[in-house]
């Protein structure tokens, strides 16, 4: 990754830093989009692979694929919402507890601040100035305790936003492996090949997308996600094929 030294210097000008820090930070939803996209593609392509492996006709793949697409997408979005909501409620309980501690036992909370910053290498008068400065402002005091003692960030993701991004990504990406099965003029083998091609492209693109903010090569990230998705689809196909042979189920 090429670093523009001049641009870095510009971004760290005092005025630029002040402006950046004064802007309210928002949690990004890259992880929600990646989670929803990968799971959506795996879900539908696994259904397609399983249907082909079991010898079912295209109509079965379409019905099961879209049924799973929306049901699983909704389930995943709901789970994501409940998970974030539960974490926020847990953080709120800790925040309430810390507020009470600051009010009831301020000396004990000051000692916690003292030991936290002593562990960072501050000593003597400098350390005491830090403790006094932080404890003068209850909001700052609370933020420091939440971050340093409990590891709670000042900002947290919106449950509704995260759930919505997860659902949209799940349905959008998960639709692609099903598209060839909406083309009746293609033979079932051709439909499966095109479905596998589309699924592979989506896996690769998602892998590259999740790496856009990192310094690691996006190509290898895309390849790793492609291999993961392909392994899931292969497992679905092999399972359906083995069960079909085991129970002597003839192709429809």
Residue-wise pLDDT for 155-196, tens only, equals 778 899 999 999 999 999 999 999 999 998 898 889 989 998
pLDDT-based confidence at residue 15 (cuts at 50, 70, 90):
confident
pLDDT of 190-218, one tens digit each? 998 999 899 889 988 888 877 665 555 56
From 45, 73, 69, select the one nearest 236 (Cα to Cα): 45
Q: Is the pLDDT of residue 230 over 80?
A: no
**Predicted pLDDT of residue 122:** 93
Q: Is the pLDDT of residue 59 over 70?
A: yes
Whose tokens are 């403790």? That residue is 131
- Tokens (6 digits) for 183: 């083309």
From 182, 180, 191, 196, select the one nearest 234 (Cα to Cα): 196
Spell out the domain ranges in the chain.
30-246
**Predicted pLDDT of residue 157:** 84
From 122, 118, 161, 126, select the one nearest 30 (Cα to Cα): 161
Q: Is the pLDDT of residue 251 over 60?
A: no
- Tokens (6 digits) for 124: 């003597």
Phi, then psi, of 3 in degrees rounded to 5 = -105, 125
**Predicted pLDDT of residue 80:** 92
Q: Is the pTM value of this prediction over 0.85?
A: no
Lowest mean pLDDT, pick from 66-75, 214-223, 242-251:
214-223
DSSP code of residue 27: -
pLDDT of 77-133, one tens digit each? 999 999 999 999 999 999 999 999 999 999 999 999 999 999 999 999 999 999 999
Residues 6+ apart with CB under 8 A from 10: 16
Burial class of residue 251 in the structure, from the number of CB atoms within 10 Å of its CB (0-12 exposed, 13-18 middle, 19+ buried): exposed
């Amino acid at each position: 990754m090429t670093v523009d030294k001049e641009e870095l210097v510009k971004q760290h000008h005092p005025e630029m830093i002040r402006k950046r820090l004064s802007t309210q930070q928002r949690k990004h939803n890259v992880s929600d989009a990646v989670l929803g996209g990968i799971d959506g593609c795996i879900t539908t392509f696994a259904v397609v692979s399983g249907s082909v492996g079991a010898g079912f006709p295209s109509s079965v793949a379409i019905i099961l694929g879209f049924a799973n697409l929306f049901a699983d997408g909704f389930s995943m979005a709901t789970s994501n919402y409940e998970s974030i909501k539960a974490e926020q409620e847990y953080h709120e309980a800790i925040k309430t507890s810390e507020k009470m501690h600051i009010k009831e036992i301020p000396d004990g909370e000051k000692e916690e601040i003292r030991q936290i910053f002593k562990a960072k290498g501050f000593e003597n008068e400098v350390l005491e100035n830090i403790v006094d400065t932080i404890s003068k402002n209850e909001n700052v005091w609370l933020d420091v305790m939440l971050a340093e003692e409990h590891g709670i960030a000042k900002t947290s993701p919106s449950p509704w936003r995260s759930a919505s991004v997860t659902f949209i990504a799940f349905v959008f990406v998960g639709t692609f492996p099903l598209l060839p099965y909406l083309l009746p003029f293609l033979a079932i083998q051709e439909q499966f090949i095109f479905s596998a091609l589309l699924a592979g492209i989506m896996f690769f693109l998602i892998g590259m997308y999740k790496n856009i903010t990192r310094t690691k090569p996006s190509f290898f990230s895309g390849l790793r996600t492609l291999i993961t998705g392909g392994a899931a689809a292969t497992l679905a196909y092999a399972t359906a094929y083995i069960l079909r042979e085991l129970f002597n189920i003839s192709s429809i």
